[in-house]
Amino acid sequence: MRTQTVTFEYDPGRNILFTVDDYEVMCPEDADKFFALYQQQLAQIGKKVHLVTNIDRLYIAPHMEEHYGEVARKVSREWILKFARYGDMAISRVGIAIAAQKADFVTSVHKTREEAVAAVLAAGDGGRG
């Protein structure tokens, strides 16, 4: 069982919010609570940010992918400039990439935090990381 937490670390110099998701999304309420944590932190920052997320401890149940994607798109439109995810475990990277594809939610998934940071800070790519 996951701890149902998200750890936040904001780098104001680069305007990057780093997060570590330790969350299991099994029902709509889980997804809503998960994104409420993000919205609360983002509201404290008070502006759009780049987002770099470690997804090694994030699990989205297959039947929740569409709802998760809908809520993620809403939060992203309001608060996120560009984002990228990363994970040490291949299974995590594959799982989140499949979930994002099924939810029609474009994201990039990387092996390391450094690769994810480079993706969100890349100039002129015109899209999300």
Strand-strand pairing, 5-11 and 16-25: antiparallel
The tens digit of pLDDT for each residue in 69-105 reads 888 889 989 999 998 999 887 666 566 666 666 555 6
pTM, 2 dp = 0.84
Q: Domain limits of the chain?
A: 5-121
Torsion from C-alpha of 87, 24, 106, 43, nearest 10 degrees: -100
CATH of segment(s) 5-121? 3.30.750.24
Choose among 114, 111, 79, 47: nearest CA to 122.
Answer: 114
